[in-house]
């Protein structure tokens, strides 16, 4: 079990979609957890989260206003913390193209600040959230998240004799998260028009609950130095549009700056150091030691074939229109009906 009555957890970016779902899951499964600290820079979102989890019912919760760009504030917030989930990031692809240094300061330098703060304090486990856009990135957002991933993985090389593990979890679009295509299409369907960027476009899909499960698995089982990737389905953007607005007009408007037609989570170049863990893949550091440690821990793994790539377009598992509608009702809007 990743948490017990002595555990102290800190979540950076804890007021986002993932943070709220993760906090709810931890409080439900581990009600005796000693502390959950929410670290973020938006006081309004923290206040809104406090209304969902009032202090008199959830005395374990603490709220720290702060930015990952501020290493001193991070160090103070990590006092007596043993577990960190890093979800703070700037994420919008077009905004990154227009404001590159803001994304570098938060996603890259902020990640390094957290690494150094965790090394300074008595932290035991760190899991950082990544994105499919970090694999062979063509946009600045993806490039900053690839840098972030590399910083967390490399941190295992400088931890010395500390009982400290840094790992990364990389997954695709979270169904229903803010700024993602499904809420966008649900709103645009009211106008009768669903703009399609490219008819061939595909994306990986994961629900918030699946993302939460993966991070919990990583906190309990990850050995440090790996990038974990879930086995999840893909969808075609045209099928999402058909699922939401079958009667809507669907003009092709062209891809935005920095967008791909298909996303990857494991490239062919990664295949030489990647393993199959069953429900997940893991991209290992080049020394290969992590796979040996998985075997020593009793977690079975096999190497993926040379040249293997995990791509949303060539994925063997695709969601159809009806499956998408069912998932929208389950994870986004229970009252959803196609327009």
The pLDDT of residue 177 is 80
**Residue 119 domain-assigned (yes or no):** yes
Number of residues that make up the chain: 339
Instruction: Say whether 45 is catalytic.
Output: no
Per-residue model confidence as pLDDT tens digits over 267-321 = 999 999 999 999 999 999 877 678 888 888 888 899 999 999 999 999 999 999 9
The pLDDT of residue 231 is 97
Q: Which of 20, 45, 133, 188 is catalytic?
A: 133
**Residue 115 domain-assigned (yes or no):** yes
Region for 160 from its dihedrals, namely left if φ exceeds 0, alpha if ψ lies in -120 to 50, beta otherwise: left
The pLDDT of residue 245 is 96
Calculate Rg over the CA atoms of the chain: 20
**Residue 67 domain-assigned (yes or no):** yes
- Residue 223 · residue 294 · CB < 8 Å: yes
**Residue 324 domain-assigned (yes or no):** no
**Residue 329 domain-assigned (yes or no):** no
The pLDDT of residue 297 is 83
Per-residue model confidence as pLDDT tens digits over 23-54 = 999 999 999 999 999 999 999 999 999 999 99
- Residue 208 · residue 176 · CB < 8 Å: yes
- Residue 265 · residue 278 · CB < 8 Å: no
- Residue 147 · residue 89 · CB < 8 Å: no
The pLDDT of residue 185 is 95
Structure tokens at 141: 């957002």
* C-alpha–C-alpha distance, residues 255 and 262, integer Å: 11
Domain enclosing residue 140, as ranges: 8-171+206-232+264-309
Q: Residue 299 phi/psi, 5° resolution?
A: -100, 115
**Residue 240 domain-assigned (yes or no):** no
Q: What is the mean pLDDT of each run of 10 residues along the chain (339 residues)?
A: 94 95 97 97 96 96 97 97 97 92 98 98 97 94 97 96 97 83 94 96 95 97 96 97 97 89 95 94 85 85 94 96 96 93
| Distance spanning both ends of the chain, measured CA to CA | 44
The pLDDT of residue 290 is 82
- Residue 178 · residue 136 · CB < 8 Å: no
**Residue 247 domain-assigned (yes or no):** no
For residue 66, what is the domain's CATH number? Answer: 3.40.50.720
The 10 Å Cβ neighbour count of residue 187 is 10
* C-alpha–C-alpha distance, residues 168 and 117, integer Å: 17
The pLDDT of residue 257 is 80
Say what the pTM is. Answer: 0.94
- The number of folded domains in the chain is 1
**Residue 158 domain-assigned (yes or no):** yes
């Amino acid at each position: 079990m990743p948490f017990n009555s002595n555990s102290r957890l800190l979540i950076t970016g804890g007021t986002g979609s993932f943070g709220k779902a993760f906090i709810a899951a931890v409080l439900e499964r581990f009600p005796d957890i000693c502390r959950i600290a929410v670290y973020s820079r938006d006081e309004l979102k923290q206040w809104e989260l406090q209304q969902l989890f009032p202090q008199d019912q959830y005395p374990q919760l603490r709220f720290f206003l702060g930015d990952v760009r501020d290493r001193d504030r991070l160090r103070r917030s990590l006092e007596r913390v043993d577990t960190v989930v890093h979800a703070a990031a700037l994420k919008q692809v077009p905004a990154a193209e227009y404001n590159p240094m803001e994304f570098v300061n938060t996603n890259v330098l902020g990640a390094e600040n957290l690494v150094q703060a965790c090394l300074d304090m008595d932290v035991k486990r760190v899991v950082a959230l990544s994105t499919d856009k970090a694999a062979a990135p063509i946009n600045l957002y993806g490039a900053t998240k690839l840098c972030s991933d590399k910083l967390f993985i490399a941190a295992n090389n400088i931890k010395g004799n500390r009982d400290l593990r840094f790992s990364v979890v990389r997954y695709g679009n979270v169904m229903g998260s803010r700024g993602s295509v499904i809420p966008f299409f649900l709103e645009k369907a009211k106008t009768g028009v669903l703009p399609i960027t490219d008819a061939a476009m595909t994306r990986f899909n994961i629900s918030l609950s699946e993302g939460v499960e993966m991070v919990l698995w990583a906190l309990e089982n990850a050995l440090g130095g790996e990038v974990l990737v879930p086995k999840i389905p893909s969808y075609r953007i045209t099928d999402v549009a058909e699922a939401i607005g079958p009667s809507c007009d669907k003009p092709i408007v062209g891809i935005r700056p920095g967008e791909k037609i298909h996303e990857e989570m494991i490239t062919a170049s990664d295949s030489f150091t990647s393993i199959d863990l069953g429900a997940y893949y893991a991209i290992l550091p080049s020394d290969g030691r992590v796979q040996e440690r998985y075997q020593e821990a009793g977690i079975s793994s096999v190497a993926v074939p040379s040249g293997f790539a995990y791509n949303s377009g060539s994925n063997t598992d695709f969601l159809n229109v009806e499956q998408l509608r069912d998932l929208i009702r389950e994870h986004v809007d229970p009252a959803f009906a196609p327009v």
